[in-house]
Structure 1
Amino acid sequence: MEFVAAVFRPLKDCFDRTYGYVMSCGDYIEAMGHEMNELKSKRDDIKRLVDGAERHSMEATSQVKWWLKCVADLEVAALRIEDDYRARQRLRPERSPGIMATYYLSKKADEMRAEAARIKEKGNFDKVADELVQIRVEEMPSVPVFGMEAQLQELNACVRDGGITGIYGMAGVGKTELLNKFNNEFLINSQDINVVIYIEVGRKFNQDDFQRIIGDRIGVPWEDNKLPKERGKVLFRVLSKMNFVLLLDDVWEPIKLQFLGIPVLKQNSMSKIVLTTRIEDVCDRMDVRRKLKMECLPLEPAWELFCEKVGEHLMRASEEIRDHAMALAMKCGGHPLALITVGRAMASRRDAKEWKHAITVLESAPWQLLGMDTEVLVPLQESYNYLPNDMIRLCLLYCSLFPEELSIPKDSIVGYCIGEGFTDDLFTMDEEFYFFKDWAKIASLQERGEDADHIRIHPMVRAMALWIASEFGKKETKWLVRAGVGLKEAPGADKWSDAERISFMGNHIVELYERPNCPLLKTLLLQSNPLSRICDGFFQFMPSLRVLDLSHTSLSELPSGISSLVELRYLDLYNTNIRSLPMELESLVKLRFLILSKVPLEMIPGGVICSLTMLQVLYMDHSYGDWTVGDSGSCVSFQELESLRRLQALDITIQSLETLEQLSRSYRLAVSTRNLLIKTCSSLTNLELTSANLWKNMSNLKRVWIARCSNLAEVIIDRIKETDDRIKHSRDKLQGRPIVDGEQHILPNLHDLILQGLPK
C-alpha cells in the first residue's frame, strides 16, 4: 500500500492543482493581487526612506536600486495578468477561452504571487542609502594651444577680482578650450572648492536641463512635479553653503542665474562663475564684472600652429612650398580653427602647384578645402543666423564682395543695398548700416579698430559669407568674387552666365573685350582696376543689372549700349577720366544713385539729368560745374537739377555766383546739399557763411571748398570758436585773408571749410 501511495500521491497533487487552476482562476488572481498590494506598500515605505536620505545628499544603495527595479518590473507583469483576466470575464460564455488557456492564466498568477512574496522577503534592508561620493571636478578634453598660456593667466586674474567673468569672441578662436583648461586646473588645486560644475549651454537653453545638471553635481534629487522657481530655492540653499565654480560654455542669451538657484557672488567669495559667449552683449546683460576678449592669434604663434599641423619636414623640404604655406596661413587671419583645418588639409600635399592652387581656393571657394565647411564655416554660420533680420544678414553677405581685410565704407554698403532695391529710403538705410555694424560687433563678426563709417570683417567671416551666398557651395558662381587677387584679365564670359553678383574690384584688369550673357546679374563691381576700355555692347545682355561700380578706373568714355541697363539703380563713376556723358544715360530712368565726383566732365547733354526722375543721390563735387541758369541750348541747365523731386543728397560744383544764388533759392536742392565746391568764381569777393538769405536752407551742408576764386577777400564764419581744431586747419589755408565770426547760427552741420589755390 505504501508503494501505491508513493506512486499515486504526486499524481493526485498534480490533478488537484490542475483542477484548481481550471476551476478557481479568480481565486489565484485575487491571491496575486493581495500579495502585490503588500509588496507595493513595502516599496512605498522604502522609497520614502530613500527620498529623505537623498535630501541629505545621500544616495540609494545598489541593492535598494535593484530591489525597486524588480518591484517595478513585477508590477507591470502582474498588471498584464489582471488585464487579461478582466478581458476574459467580459466575453460571452460561448466565446470564453478553453480549459488550457484558463489553466495557463491561473498558473501565471500563482507563480507571480510566489515571486512577489519572495521579493517582499528580500526587502528587509539594514540601510537604504549611503553618503554620496561626489566628484569635485570632471576633467574636460584639452589640447595644447599656442599662445593660450597668457590668456589663461589673464583669466585667472579676472576671476580673482570676484563676480562673474565673461570670455567672448568669434567662433573658433579658443573660448571653449580656454574654459576647459581653466576647469582642469582644479584637478590639481581645488582644496577650497567643493564642486566644479561645467555646463555646455548652447543655442537651445533649457531651464530643466540646467537645474538637473547642477542638482546631479551637488546631490540634490530631481523632482518633476516642482516648478523651476521651487527647484531654484532648493539649489540655492545647498549652493549657499558651498564654495562652487560654475562654468557655462557657449551662452547665447542672458541666463537668470538667481531665478534658477545660483547665489549672487559676494565680495571675497571663494565661489566663481565664468561663461563663454560669442555675443558681447550677453556679458553686459548678465552683469559680468570682467570681460576677456579672445582674439585671433598674432602672426608668429599662428605660423607655429600652422607648421605643427602641416609638419615641419614639409616646410623644410621646399622653399616654394614654404612661401605658399606662409601665404595660406596669412589668409587664415590668425583664426586657430582655420589654421588647424587648413594645415591638416595640406599635410600630405607635396607639390608646390597644389599649394598655389589652395591659395586660390581659399580666396574664392574656401569650402572646397577638406574640412573647412564642417569645422570652420558651419560654426561661424551660427553667428550669422543669430543676426536679427534679413537686411542685416544681407549687409554681411555684401561685405564678402570686397577684398580681404579691406575697410569697407558705409556709403558703399548703403548705396549697393538701395541699388538692389532693399529699401528706397537713404536715411533709413543709413541707420540700418549702424544697426548692422552694432550687431556685427555684438556677434563678434566685425574686426576691431574701425571708425563709425567703416566696417572690416575677418577673412573667415568673409569665407563663411561667400559659402552662404553660393548656397553652401552648391552654386559656386552665383556670387563670382575675385576681388583683390591680382587678376590681369577677367574670368571668361562663360563663367558669368549664372552669376547674380560679380566682384572683380581691386585687380589689374585693363580691358573687357567679351560680351557676357548674364540674365540674372544684379551687381557688377569693377572699381579700382586700371580699366581703360569696355567693348561696345558689353552691357547688352545684362537685363537685370541694378548696381554698377566703375569708380577708380581709367575709363575715358562709357561703352555704347549702356542704355540696355533699364533696371540700373546705382552707377558709380567716381574718379574716372570721363569727359562727356553719353545721351544714352537718359534711358536709365530707374537710377537712384549717380556718382560723378572727381570726374573731369566737360559736357553733359541737355535732357539727361532731368530724365533721371528717380534720382535720390547725385554726387558731383570736383566735377562738372558750368551750370547755366535759364535756356542753355544743348547743354545741361540748372533747372534740370531742380526737376529732381526725389533728391535727398547732393554734392555739387558751382562756378558762378548766379548759380550759387539759384541753389540757395531752391529749397529742395539746398536742403539736400552735403558738399559744395565753389571754383573759379571771379565774382566771389567775400564769403558770408552767416548770410541768412544765402545759406538758410543748407542745414545739412558739411563741407565747403573754395578753389581758385581770385577775388576772394574776406570770409565770415558763423559762431566759430578759436579752439576749434577743424576750423584752425582750414584757417591755415586762408593765406592771410581775415575771418570774422558771425552771430547767427545758420549752418549747424558745417565742419570743414577748405580754401585752395588762392593768389597771394
Structure 2
Amino acid sequence: MGGCLSVLPWGQAVTQACNSLFGDGNYIHMMKANLEALEASMQTLRDRRDDLLTRVSIEEDKGLQRLAEVKRWLARVESIDSQVSDLLTTKPAEINRLCLFGYFSENCISSYEYGKEVSKKLEKVKELLSREAFGEVAIKGRLPKVEQQPIQKTVGLDSMVGKAWDSIMKPEGRTLGIYGMGGVGKTTLLTRINNKFKDEFDVVIWVVVSKDLQYDGIQDQILRRLCVDKDWEKETEKEKASFIENILGRKKFVLLLDDLWSEVDLDKIGVPSPTQENGSKIVFTTRSKEVCRDMRADDELKMDCLTRNEAWELFQNAVGEVRLKGHPDIPTLAKQICEKCYGLPLALNVIGKAMSCKEDVHEWRDAIDVLKTSSDKFPGMEKKILSILKFSYDGLEDDKMKSCFLYCSLFPEDYEITKEELIEYWISEGFIKGERNEDGSNNKGHVIIGSLVRAHLLMECEKESTIFESGFTRAVKMHDVLREMAIWIGKEEEKQCVKSGVKLSFIPDDINWSVSRRISLRSNQIKKISCSPKCPNLSTLFLGDNMLKVIPGEFFQFMPSLVVLDLSRNLILLELPEEICSLISLQYLNLSRTRISSLPVVLKGLSKLISLDLEYCPGLKSIDGIGTILPTLQVLKLFGSHVDIDARSIEELQILEHLKIFTGNVKDALILESIQRMERLASCVQCLLIYKMSAEVVTLNTVAMGGLRELYINYSKISEIKIDWKSKEKEDLPSPCFKHLSSIAILALKGSKELSWLLFAPNLKHLHVEDSESIEEIINKEKGMSISNVHPPDMMVPFQKLQLLSLKELGKLKRICSSPPPALPSLKKFDVELCPMLPKAAIREFQRHEQE
C-alpha cells in the first residue's frame, strides 16, 4: 500500500487519506463515474446545440435574427465544450494514477484537483441542459442602418466626399444641397456619401426623385426602406405621412434625395425637419442652385467638371488599356477627344466606351474631325456638352437608327419602354419594315435596340410585370441627360415636341402643330381638349396616361399624316368620336386601359390600321365586326379585357388574314381546342389567359402555338394539362417544346396535383404559382422521367433559365422537383410563402442557388 502513496509528512498524509475516503475527497473515488457522466452529458448538450442551430439557421434564412438569449446560451455551450475537451485530454493519465479500487491515487493532490474540476464541469453542463427548450429562437431583426449602393471606381471625387462629409457631420449642419449640371457626377457623389455611413445614424434612407415630382412615390420608397409591416400601399398620402413621421420622429436619420428639380414639401411626405436637437440630416442633389435656396439648405456644395488630369484618368478607364495601345497615335488622339468632353464625367464615360470598340486609327482621326466641326456651332457650356454627347448620336450608322433613338425621348423621364412596344412604334412610323419571325418578333428592331445599347445611348432594364409577380419584361430606358440631348436634337432634326410628365392640366398654346411631326403629351393630367389643330405633318401623337373622358371630334379632323395614336391609360375615356375615321393614315392605335365599351363602326375608315391594342379594357365585351371593319390588322391585343374568345370571335379572327400577333382570353376548353386546330390563328398567339375553365384534361399544342410567350391560368378547375406536339402540316419537328414561352403564372388552379408539363418550356424565365390547393409537386419524378426518355436532353433538367420562382399559398406542396437541380445559373429571385409542407431543405437549396 505504501507504494501507492506520495511521500508526504505523516500528519498531512493522514488528513489526505481521511478526506479521500470520507470527505470532499470523494472527487477521486467519483472521478471515473463523473467522467463518464460528463462525456455523456456533453454529447447530449452538443446534440441539443446542433438542433437549436438548425432551427436558428432556418429562421435566419427568412431574414430573421437570433435572440440574444439564444446567442448567450450557444456561447456558453461553445465555451464549456472547449473546456471539457481540454479536460478530457488528460483523462487516461489521471485514470491510470488511481489505485485501491479508485479510492486513492499515486498523486492524490493532482487527482483531487482533477476530480474536483470534472465535478464542476459536470454541474455546468447539467445546468445548461436544464434550460427548457427555446420556444422562439429568432425575431425580425433591427433595420440595417445603411444599404450599400453599387458603384464603380470613381475619379476625382475624394476631396468632394471629404467636404460633403464634414458638412454633414458638423453639429449645426442640417441640410446639404449638392448642385451642378447634368452628368457631372452628383449621383455618384451621393452614392459615395451613402456608402461611407456606418453607425453614425439610426437609419440612412436613399430616395430617387424625378422631374415629375410624385409625393406618394417618395413616401413609398421611404416606407419600403423602413420595412413597415403594415400594408401601407393602399393608404392615403396623409396616412402614409403619419406613418413616416411616427417612425422617423423617434430616430436620428439621414435622408438622401437624388435628382430634385423643384422644392419638396417634407411636411407633406411626413419627414420631420432636421434640427440640432434631433441630429437628423437631409442631403439632396439638384441641377439648380435655386432649388438649394427653396429647400433652405444651410450648406451648398457645387460640383464642377473634372480637372484635365482627372478627366484623362477617367477617359482611359472607359476606353481601356488594350485599345489605347492599339496604335502609337491613338493615345494622342484620345487626349484630344478627352479634351472635347470638357471634363463632364457622363460625356467621358459615354464617348470613352464608344471609342473602346474603335480599333483602326482612322476611326479615331475621324472622331476628332466630327467633334471639332460639331462643337463650334453651340456657344455656351451646356450646349457644348450636349454637342459632345451628340457625338455618340452622330456615330449611329444611318438616319433610320437616329430616328429610332430620338423617338425614345417622347416617353417621360425614367420611363421603362418594353422592347416589343418600342418596335411596334418604329414599324408604324416606317423606320423599319414590318417583317416578322414565326413568333411575331422583328429582327431588325432588336438589332437597332442592341446597337443603341452598345452605343450607351439606351440602357437595358427589366420592367416589372403588373400581373401578379410573373416576372419582368425586357425593356430599355434613357439616362436623363441623354434624353435631354435627344429632345434638343429632335426639336430641330425631327420637329419633335416633348411635354411628357410635366403635370400639364391642359394642352399648351405654344405647340406649333403646323410643323410638328411628333408630339408627346403623355403622363400629364389633361382632362379636356378644346383645340382643333391643323397638323399636315404630324405622324405620332402621344396622349396616353392622362385624364381624358371625352375627345371632341374636331380634334382629329386635320391630321391626315398621323400614323401613331396612343390614348392608353386614360382610365375614364368612354368612347371615340366619329371623326376618328379622318385619320386615314393611322397604323397604330393604343386604347389599352381605357373604358372603351365597343368598336365603333367608323373605325372602318382606318383602312391602313395594322396594330390595335385593347388590353385591360374592362368595358369591352365584344369584337363583333372587327374582321370586316379592320381587315389589315397584323396585331390585335385583347388580353385582360372582358372579351372572351368564343365561336363567333374565332370567325372574326379567321377573317384577319394578315394577323401576326394576338393576345387574348379563353375560358372554354372546346374553344381552346378549336383555336389550336387553326394553325394560322394559333401561331399568332403570344399571350394567353385561361380563366374560369372547367375541364378534366386541357391540351396545349407546342406546334400550333409555337409563338406563345406568356401563359396565365387563373381560377380554373383542370385535372390534367397535357402537351401535344403533333402537326398535320409539319412532319419533321426539331423540338416538341414551347421554345419562346418565358413567363407562366398560375392562380387558384384546382384539380391538378403536379405541373410536370412545365418541362416543355425549357426557356422559362418567370414562374408564379399561387393559391392552388391541389398541387403537391411542381415536377413529378415519374412523369419527368417519361418525358426525358422520349424528348431531347435539354428537357431533362428543369428550370435551367429560370430567373424568378414564386410559390405562394400552396398548402399541399411537398416537392418542387424530385431532387434539387444541379445548377440554377439564372435564378435571381426565389419567393416562398405559406407552403407549410414544403421541406426546409428544399427551400434552402433553392435559396442557395438564388444567392449564388
Higher-Rg structure is 1
TM-score for the superposition, normalised by structure 2: 0.44
TM-score for the superposition, normalised by structure 1: 0.49
